[in-house]
Amino acid sequence: MNGAQSLIRTLVDAGVEVCFSNPGTSEMHFVAALDSVPEMRGVLGLFEGVVTGAADGYARIAEKPAATLLHLGPGLGNGLANLHNARRAHTPVVNVVGDHATYHKQYDAPLESDIDALAGSLEGWVRRSSHTKDVGADAAAAVAASQDAPGRVATLILPADASWGEGGETCAPIPPRTPHAVDATTVKNIAEVLRSGESVALLIGGPACREAGLLATSRIAAATGAKALIETFPTRLERGAGLPNIERLGYLSEQAMYQLEGVKHLIVAGTRAPVSFFAYPGKPSVLVPEGAKVHVLADVGQDVTTALSDVAAIVAADVEPVRQEASRPALPSGPLTAQNWVEVIGALLPEQAIIADEANTSGLLLPGATAGAPRHDVLTLTGGAIGYGMPVATGAAIAAPSRPVINLQSDGSAMYTISALWTQARENLDVTTVILNNHAYAILRMELQRVGAASDGPKAKELLDLSRPDMDFAKMAEGMGVPATRATTAEELAEQFSRALAEPGPHLIDAAVAPLL
């Protein structure tokens, strides 16, 4: 057994069944070894940002890591942006980054670069597996490290000779560290804050955005009058009819500060006290109202769901959660706007959908239109590195082949990782992509104003414009084997969206939506 074979066998034994891959020469023994371990599925991405984003999307839905296979420093570099999002999502990901053979590194061959520095920037787990006999044990450690609460990116650097050498040894799975429990004193103190009679907000995040956490949070809010809020960009948010509909903290700091106005106590659970996404001249970085006290119920990596249930047991013993009733918007008509396209989605969202949401400014009105739709999961842009939606949708569809995946995708962000469409076609994934094509980096037009930039002259405007030339996403999709249509009215979008959902395999709709702003 060579090192590559021991690696793949160990990954499979630890439950890692999919390897999103973009290999090169130094990874050829890993590629060859795939045929010796039938349980491992190799999925090819045409660019590493697709590979790493797909691994993120997969793990958010499968609740276990996928592996990636990346080619040296440049391959890891191409994958960094979506690994940044995975890091912020606390998604478990196991990167296997091939490197030159150990004895070859000294020669500074053209592809030599500082892989360790790039991997280290992700602040997760990094190990270089220099001896064939250690590869299996290192792989088992990587899988465990990726899943140690709250989850992280684990990167195993695999020199080519460690991969091709004989003497590989598989390693049994290592149990990951489960979340630390929140102690009873903290629970009791938080219960007292909630009963203080002062204005309290409860901001939840991480695993608390799943059903159990939402139900406990809703009960607490109903019993105490606390204002419940969900972090701005949750990794995986369960929504829809039958679940509590808790509003998310706004992306714009003005909006978040409005939501928190008058709050005297901010309880955070599974997330941190909110800060502004960017700094703006003369505006505060911290969004906690002045004079308000922050209380931590559960830090990131602690067992937030149990902690919320424990608090609910004290303050809301006999109180039921408030569940969203089933309701859908009426199907709208007319030229597509920021308002009516979300109504189309709300009206037609299928059962058990997974939404990969990178609609950005075009999607500001989405939550309202889908609150009463059938139950669904929403995956969001946790780290702010754009180009996440198409790859994450791809990985989610691999993880849940029986669920419809809907990628709501702004035009500018789509172009970072557009080749994910090819992987969707190759794997015949049930992904419906709706491109919100407003021909602009609309969010930056807004931000140019918000930062108080001194000028918005023609050269500045030009750098935020995507209309010259207009992009035809339907043609691009067809070029990659994905059937595609174009919609300019709500009626067309509804008809095309329904048809895409009814047919198996990927589809893309290029929707000409007027800018919101």
Binds its own copies by CB under 8 A, chosen from 189, 481, 499, 501: 481
Does 270 engage in binding with its own copies (CB under 8 A)?
no
Beta carbons within 8 Å of 260's beta carbon, 6+ residues apart: 201, 229, 249, 266, 274, 287, 288, 289, 292
Does 479 engage in binding with its own copies (CB under 8 A)?
yes
Beta carbons within 8 Å of 458's beta carbon, 6+ residues apart: none
Nearer to its own copies, 300 or 348 (CB): 300
Over the range 27-39, which residues count as b (16 or more CB within 10 Å of their CB) and which as e? bebbbebbeebee
Binds its own copies by CB under 8 A, chosen from 15, 39, 109, 327: 109
Contact 407, 395 (CB under 8 A): no
Cα 512 from Cα 493, distance rounded (Å): 10
What residues are paired with 485 via a beta bridge? 509
Backbone angles phi, psi at 450, to 5 degrees: -65, -35
Contact 145, 92 (CB under 8 A): no
Fill in the per-residue mask, 192 to 231: x = in contact with its own copies (CB under 8 A), - = not in contact: ----------------------------------------
Q: How many CB atoms lie within 10 A of CB 330?
A: 8
- Subset of residues 35 to 64 that bind its own copies, contact rule: CB under 8 A: 35-36, 42, 44, 46-47, 49
Binds its own copies by CB under 8 A, chosen from 34, 137, 256, 397: 34
Q: How many residues does the chain have?
A: 517
Cα 289 from Cα 454, distance rounded (Å): 29
Question: Tokens at residue 254, please?
Answer: 């003005």
Does 23 engage in binding with its own copies (CB under 8 A)?
yes
Nearer to its own copies, 120 or 225 (CB): 120
Binds its own copies by CB under 8 A, chosen from 14, 16, 18, 33: 33
CA angle 137, 142, 143 (to 5 degrees): 100
Contact region for its own copies (CB under 8 A) — 22-30, 140-148, 179-187, 329-337? 22-30
Contact 98, 163 (CB under 8 A): yes
Does 505 engage in binding with its own copies (CB under 8 A)?
no
Contact region for its own copies (CB under 8 A) — 112-120, 199-207, 221-229, 366-374? 112-120
- Subset of residues 369 to 408 that bind its own copies, contact rule: CB under 8 A: 382-387
Does 463 engage in binding with its own copies (CB under 8 A)?
yes
Output the smallest distance, CB 44 to its own copies, in A: 5
Euclidean distance between the first and final Cα of the chain, in Å? 60
Does 97 engage in binding with its own copies (CB under 8 A)?
no
Contact region for its own copies (CB under 8 A) — 26-34, 194-202, 314-322, 326-334? 26-34
Cα within 13 Å of Cα(320), Cβ side: 5
Does 319 engage in binding with its own copies (CB under 8 A)?
no
Does 289 engage in binding with its own copies (CB under 8 A)?
no
Q: How many residues bind its own copies (CB under 8 A)?
A: 104
Does 78 engage in binding with its own copies (CB under 8 A)?
yes
What's the count of helices (H) and strands (E) in the chain, helices before strands? 20, 17
Nearer to its own copies, 63 or 447 (CB): 447
Question: Tokens at residue 74, please?
Answer: 């440049």
- Subset of residues 152 to 191 that bind its own copies, contact rule: CB under 8 A: 160-161, 164
Does 125 engage in binding with its own copies (CB under 8 A)?
no
Does 317 engage in binding with its own copies (CB under 8 A)?
no
Does 426 engage in binding with its own copies (CB under 8 A)?
yes
